[in-house]
Structure 1
């Protein structure tokens, strides 16, 4: 009798559980109109399911994860732009998201890249004069966009990002150029702020900036190598280029790469100091000095 009771109870629980699963798997609503849903590169199934729920495409993010795992499709969801409807059940949505979206494509700019590292032949004319002003990010580009429209989209993102920095228009060129140096010279936000102070201190006293990355940019602009940013040779330091910051004083004439937001912030908000020198040590850290004596000591300690 006890076993029969347990069996009946288990059966009822199972029926209720199955009913709940099927209810939560059913369409969110009867709205059959197609709406855009974008999946970003590298986005996890948890984030995708939460956004599907937030945008009222599914009733339960947990059920979406359950069915995608059960069907073996959890790792097959593709990045892109999709047209889906709230009248679709969870299985139909999963099928759509794993079959590929539109022919729109992702375009990525990595902080510190120069134009030639991410522009294809058809983009080159549209990016002329845009070095430093194409904000590093991942962009979902509509398949029908012209090169000019692509650059306009990226430039608009740059304008939106720098609003938070309150950069005066008359200072923008110098800030972006300085930020491009910081992007190549330092990794962390704090180190970028410290390097910014060093470079500004040098500018104030008319001392050459001696930034290797700027010389690399000038050299590579002349030689057009297959790989950019290779270490400098002693001969490279003698090249005739306005970007040779060993031979020319002041900032380079224009940015040397496309800096991220941390570098732009650092150029605008340096950490004040009296330092005139810095190195990246073998210990993975940056070391700063106010005098040449201390700088040479840092070299002896961290680079030899």
Structure 2
């Protein structure tokens, strides 16, 4: 019995040693480099949990204990890292201490125009004429990339998304017209279903020569004439008289170019409009959209939801 009792501490020690060894060793032999971002002010356990989730380490708690025991927890840097699952825990921590790459994230939000996310005037100048083709996404940009290289990266992503969104298309518009329509849909609706219905409505209006009467196009026209602009502010009745080819209250047909950079759902909806008899729609105070087949129904919706 005494021998067994003496063996218990040894067994526990060996078990702990084995656990630590397995936790410190590389999770796998996979040498594929993957991006891992540590945000400024992110806690040690949060970092460890994400490292474990993406299989860069075997155990989050061993990572935390090891970092604190050896006084490394305060030395871990924020930044972008290229990590593999084939690194031991000590080696991985050393990488996190040395600091990440100088790459940075560049984000384009759906429904914004180039001036809203452009880092400087030079970028705005280089990207002139590309409104609608800068696909909304988060891009990891190497520090030494020129504006032209950044645009090439973004445009390549746009072409891939456009090819996917246009599969089995039913629209009768040209690709350029479809992109313009998609930019309008991005500003007019939130859900894919509503975007498809509104795409069909605007096609109906175009088909009978009816003005599109889109507030977002007037906002675009107003913002283009105002410096500095406060983008996408509510318009007034007097704004409807703005002289601009983008004012779809005064001009029939689509505006001459996209009014913003649309996301995937808007692209898809523009290529796959829902066929319906609706010609009118409005947004109530909660953002819900109500549709009408004729002016009488539309006026009833106005009286019910907007007054």
**Structures share fold, TM-score greater than 0.5:** yes
Query: What is the Cα deviation at residue 24 of structure 1?
Result: 2.9
Q: Note if 1:66 corresponds to 2:69.
A: no
| Match of residue 159 from structure 1 | 159
The equivalent of 1:207 in structure 2 is 210
TM-score normalised over the length of structure 1 = 0.84
Aligned to 2:19: 20
- Aligned partner of 2:225 among 222, 225, 230: 222
Structure 1 distance, partners of 2:188, 2:64, is 44
Tell me if structure 2 keeps the 8 A contact 1:283–1:302.
no
Does the 8 Å CA contact 1:277/1:291 hold for their aligned counterparts?
Answer: yes
Q: Is the 8 A contact 1:25 1:89 kept in 2?
A: yes
1:129-167 Cα deviation digits (max 9, x unpaired): 000000001111111111111101100110111111346
Which of 244, 247, 252 matches 1:249? 252
Q: Does 1:291 align with 2:294?
A: yes
Inter-CA distance 28–62: structure 2 relative to 1 (3 Å threshold): closer
Contact 1:38/1:80 (8 A) holds in 2: yes
TM-score by length of 2: 0.83
Root-mean-square deviation (CA, aligned residues, Å) is 3.1
Distance 1:87 1:285, change over 3 A: closer
Which whole-Å deviations, capped at 9, do the CAs of 1:160-193 have from their partners, x for residues lacking one?
A: 111113468x822111100000000100111111
- Provide the rounded CA distance (Å) in 2 between the counterparts of 1:7 and 1:239: 91
Task: Indicate which of 220, 239, 244 corresponds to 2:242.
Answer: 239
Gap change, CA 1:138 and 1:203, over 3 Å in 2: same
Structure 2 residue 183 is matched with structure 1 residue 180: yes
Structure 1: distance between partners of 2:252 and 2:38: 42
Q: Which residue of 2 aligns with 1:113?
A: 112
Asked if residue 101 in structure 1 is aligned to residue 94 in structure 2, the reply is no
> Per the alignment, do residues 184 and 87 of structure 1 end up closer, same or farther by CA in structure 2, a change over 3 Å counting?
closer
Cα 1:16/1:184, change in 2 over 3 Å: same
Between the aligned partners of 2:137 and 2:38, the Cα distance in structure 1 is: 11
Equivalent residues of 2:278, 2:291 under 8 A apart = yes
The aligned residue for residue 261 of structure 1 is 264
Residue number in structure 1 paired with 2:283: 280
Alignment of 1:19-98 (within 5 A): 19-27=18-26, 36-39=33-36, 48-51=51-54, 53=55, 58=56, 61-63=57-59, 65-70=60-65, 71=67, 78-82=78-82, 84=83, 88-97=87-96
For structure 1, which runs of at least 5 residues remain unmatched after alignment?
none
* CA pair 100-238 structure 1, distance change in 2 beyond 3 A: farther
